[in-house]
Structure 1
């Protein structure tokens, strides 16, 4: 690189902004040595077939280099365009639930073995593995297991696998070029309501505009709002594993709401 600027760290990786020898502005994550960067690169390329994402310039075991995205302030118009773009991404579909590359969310591995049934996939490959890592009380675990047993009843009408970001909180949406640009994916074939529930978990700019435009482009099945806590179980469990007790109350509130469906 011709020049670099240190942007700090995240989940143990160093983040930097740089300029390549040929004058391109880039963003780089470096550090460690695992399949994680290759997984992220594969997900970005796959999502990029349908929606704006940073270009993968270089990837290796210890680094991921992407084109730089110049961020701007969100606007209502950008939120609506993002909602339509997200609907088109989901419609691009996937061969199965899961993906042909190893899964990660933050630094945590996820089982991406392809599956045909979403409630079973969500239970066995997204929720239960993180229950085992979360150091919860036996009472909490029993309630979560009761909720898991209801997934088939409360998941809504079956839908084909959607092409989803998989970790779509607001920090993974960069507002640029009049829409949202997706970064840091945990991309896989999943349920499209999962991405919407993740956006709702921590809020996103002009959320009503995003969801309204999404529904105009791709209507959602009846009862989708009631299923939001179902789709939030996995990200809340991830937060308990990563950050501990502070997220337990939010997790168990979502469990109670799933049990009440």
Structure 2
């Protein structure tokens, strides 16, 4: 029998592993081998194939860029939409402390980002004592700017991985495979920007391959930091420290 990897916890919120499995299947419809398949799921576990590690390669990075373009292009029903087969909100963050991830249906990316991403984390950070009044004011100002559509583009809702930091890309002898999603409908630049938060191998080649399949909108480089605001806020709420000024400074840049 092929080796399996079992991800388990008895303390996650009810439905957590079903949420992750639903997201993987939704992404896999378009991403094929670039998305880890689900072998089994239960209330307290998720079973996946065991993936042997291999060194990152330029070719694997380029193949992943093309796969991400296909996944994003498969689309979603709306900005903020859950993966097909899932109802309600989801979660984002480490298995030890997943944060609620608001889902639903918004008519444009900016209002979705404001109401479902920036403001909920501003409230949570304030309640936890992470953000002071002045920092919350910056985040609220960004939310107003986003909701006004100032930073919207013509990109339709994309099928996002939603937690695509470098650690959620596994490099195997057969290529790169994505794991641990928080899948939803969003702006495709968000996944790409998150890869840059901690630096994915051969990222320029990955982005070039992506752009060949699905050309990015004008000015996307200037929006990388904008799309990093949400993951930086998540890290600020969970871990504090230098993530707090980093997140607030990024928000202020676009507020």
The reply to whether TM is greater than 0.5 is yes
Residue segments in structure 1 that go unaligned for 5+ positions in a row: 1-22
Per mean C-alpha deviation after superposition, the further-off stretch among 197-206 and 102-111 is 102-111
d(CA) in 2 for partners of 1:174, 1:25: 16
Corresponding residue for 2:100?
109
Give the superposition deviation at 1:85.
Answer: 1.0
How do 1:86-235 residues align onto structure 2 when only pairs under 5 Å count?
86-97=68-79, 98-99=81-82, 100-101=86-87, 102-106=89-93, 107-134=98-125, 135-151=130-146, 152-235=148-231
TM-score by length of 1: 0.87
Query: Secondary structure at the residue paired with 2:242?
Result: helix
Corresponding residue for 2:17?
37
Question: Who wins on radius of gyration, i.e. which is larger?
Answer: 1
2:27 aligned to 35, 47, 59, which one?
A: 47
Work out whether residues 77 and 178 of structure 1, in 8 Å CA contact, stay in contact via their aligned partners in 2.
no
Give the superposition deviation at 1:177.
Answer: 4.7
Give the superposition deviation at 1:125.
Answer: 0.9
Work out whether residues 55 and 173 of structure 2, in 8 Å CA contact, stay in contact via their aligned partners in 1.
no
Residue segments in structure 2 that go unaligned for 5+ positions in a row: none
Runs of 4+ in 1 over 6 A off after TM superposition: none
Count of residue pairs the alignment pairs up: 237
Please give the root-mean-square deviation of Cα atoms over the aligned residues, in Å.
Answer: 1.4
Work out whether residues 94 and 162 of structure 1, in 8 Å CA contact, stay in contact via their aligned partners in 2.
yes
TM-score by length of 2: 0.88
